Chains A and B, each alone.
Chain A
Amino acid sequence: MERPRTLARAFGVAAAAILAAVIAVLVSSRSTASSSAADGVQDLPASPASALRVPAPTVLSGPAAAHWASVRHAVSARASPSETARLVAPLAATTPEGTANIVLVLGRARDRAGRLWVHVRLPVLPNDQTGWVPRQALGVYGVVETHLVIDLQRLTATLLRNGRPIFQAPIGAGRPEWPTPRGDFYIRDRLTRYKSAFYGPLAFGTSARSSVLTDWPGGGFIGIHGTSAPDLLPGRVSHGCVRLRNRDILELGRSMPVGTPVTIR
């Protein structure tokens, strides 16, 4: 048995050697042919390097916390995505402060005619209402990764980014007779450079409204702002607005964009 195996191995080695020699000849002849074909082409200098440092494709960091949309023109929000649905509330294109009126985007649907409608959170009374508006009545979409949580029990404001707390401060909230409304709202605008020690250096307008002070100038919207009486915080001291110490509202202002959802609980 040993002899035939040795013989077979010897044949195998010889066959491999012959095959290698044939391949070497073929490669050599092809290389010669290639050189011949390239003979008519002059040597060219190397191409210049790119002037840009092109990074790898940039994937999105994660899901957005919320989308908002500006109101392009005055429109009626309806109870369902249909022109004939019940009217929920009119929406103006601007706020009482003269900024663009924005709404929080919750979803979308098409009516029977194929028209696109957007489900939005509304800045109207009673609080916490939603409605449907035609997409064509809305303008620019924006995205935010932040969410502000106002805790009326603990009297704190906590700002989350991508679900993680990045800011917390004590607050002043509404007195029992002028309660701060609970529910889901959003930041509508940002006021700065006005002259009022009472509101502090910075004020955010929200979509929340006082259900008691409905005849307040401007419609009784709830703001989140600084204060001239920091010693009262934390406490139930306001007409419904959320007050922060001036240094806290300024710090919050560095991280919280307009359009941020607000939960008051």
Chain B
Amino acid sequence: MANEQTQHLTLSELDRDGAIREAVEQVSGDTRARFLGKAVLGSAALLGAVATPASADAAAASDVAILNYALTLEYLQSAFYTETERLGAIRGELKRVPRQLGAVERAHVRAIKAALGTAAARSPAFDFRGVTEDQTKFLKTAVAFEDLAAAAYKAQAARIRSPELLAAAISIHSVEARHAAWMRFLAGVTPAATAFDEGKPISEVKAIVASTHFVTAQPKMTSAKKPKYTG
């Protein structure tokens, strides 16, 4: 765990030149007022910002962007397994998969959101288009998601500036890799076909996620129109 002193620092205390804020706005579209409010980063990456503001702030900004990127992928995985478990349409040997993996992905979401505080990107809506109700498609997608998550974390690892955050990312990465191996085994695919894995850059990951059409807008549920109910 990070030093206790670094656990409850607010970004407004540390964001002296606005570098972190700009990065977060770039990633999450957050507003200055909201961002500077109460965001609390447990990351010891911010300890550096206290010591040497200019360079450390930039490093922390980059780490915040990477954390939000990781959070978005975790939202996707978490929603996928949670919906599958809730719908209960997956049977047999695969039935325990969404329960076990969903619990872990939800824990990842909670941990990263807690670290980012109000700087955390919001979850989009997901339309899994029947994949969470189809045995074969579910397993194929689980293999793809776990491979993708492991490759995405791997690609960002070398860019993480904070050793503490890198330790956290690696601890999640290895879990994603274990999930990938398990899903590959269930799908009859060799768990580790190569001696060295390649990471996937963010552009490639975004293109793959976009190709699924799973990410969508929240349906409009409210309106300011005057009611026409019978009264």
A binds B: yes
- The answer to whether A196 and B228 have CB atoms under 8 Å apart is no
Judging by beta carbons under 8 Å apart, are A141 and B224 in contact?
A: no
| CB closest chain-B residue, reference A95 | B223
B34 CB–A CB distance under 8 Å: no
Contact check, A56 vs B107: say whether CB atoms are below 8 A apart.
yes
- Kindly state the interface size class of chain A when it binds its partner: 35 or more
Contact of A116 among B134, B163, B225 (CB under 8 A): B134
Q: Is the CB of A217 within 8 A of B1?
A: no
A107 smallest CB distance to B (angstroms): 10
A143 at the interface (CB under 8 A from B): yes
Given A48-B167, A52-B111, A52-B115, are A196 and B130 also a contact pair (CB < 8 Å)? no
In the complex, what residue of chain B is closest to A227 when comparing beta carbons?
B231
Q: Mark B156-172, 1 if CB is under 8 A from A, else 0.
A: 00000011111110011
User: B residues within 8 A CB of A236?
Assistant: none
Interface pair A48/B44, CB less than 8 Å apart: yes
In the complex the two chains form, is A178's CB within 8 Å of B230's CB? yes
- Chain A residues within 8 Å of B42, by CB: 51-53
**Inter-chain contact A54/B107, CB cutoff 8 Å:** yes
Chain A residue at minimum C-beta to C-beta distance from B108: A54
CB-CB under 8 A from A47, the residues of chain B are 167
The verdict on A140 contacting B106 (CB below 8 Å), with A51-B44, A54-B111, A191-B224 known, is no
Is A183 an interface residue, CB under 8 A from the partner? no
Determine if A193 is an interface residue (Cβ-Cβ < 8 Å): yes
**9-residue interface stretch from A59-67, A76-84, A119-127:** A59-67
Q: How far is the CA of A54 from the CA of B42 in the complex (A)?
A: 11
Residues on the A chain within 8 Å of B211, using CB: none
CB contact list, B121-139 vs A, under 8 A: 125-130, 132-134
- Output the least CB separation between B96 and chain A (Å): 12
With A141-B87, A198-B231 known as contacts, the answer to whether A99 contacts B222 (CB < 8 A) is yes
Task: Say how far B99's CB is from chain A's closest CB, in angstroms.
Answer: 8
Contact of A136 among B114, B130, B162, B164 (CB under 8 A): B130
Q: Chain B contacts of A194 at CB under 8 A? A: 224-227
B85 at the interface (CB under 8 A from A): yes
CA distance A104 to B56 in the complex (A): 51
Q: A108-B89, A191-B224 are in contact. Are A135 and B229 (CB under 8 A)?
A: no
Q: Which residue of A lies closest to B160 (CB)?
A: A51
Residues of B within 8 A of A225 (CB): 227, 229
Does B43 lie at the interface of the complex (its beta carbon under 8 Å from any beta carbon of A)? yes
Given A48-B44, A55-B111; A100-B229 close (CB under 8 Å): no
Chain A residues near B106: list those with CB within 8 A: 57-58
C-alpha spacing A190/B86, complex, angstroms: 25
Q: Does A6 contact B (CB under 8 A)?
A: no
Residues of B within 8 Å of A108, CB to CB, are 89, 133
A132 an interface residue at 8 Å Cβ cutoff? no
Contact with A along B105-118 (1 / 0, CB 8 A): 01110111011000
Contact (Cβ within 8 A) B216 A139: yes
- A258 in the interface (beta carbon within 8 A): yes
Q: Which of A21-29, A35-43, A153-161, A238-246 contacts B (4 or more CB under 8 A)?
A: A238-246
Given contacts A48-B167, A140-B219, contact A191 B225 (CB under 8 A): yes
Binding site for B on A (CB under 8 A): 47-60, 64, 67, 70, 72, 96-100, 102, 108, 116, 135-136, 139-143, 174, 178, 189-196, 198-199, 203, 205, 210, 213, 216-218, 220-223, 225, 238-241, 258
Interface positions of B (Cβ within 8 A of A): 1-2, 42-45, 82-83, 85-87, 89, 99-100, 102-104, 106-108, 110-112, 114-115, 125-130, 132-134, 162-168, 171-172, 216, 218-231
3 nearest A-B pairs in the assembled complex, by CB-CB distance: A223-B229, A218-B228, A57-B103
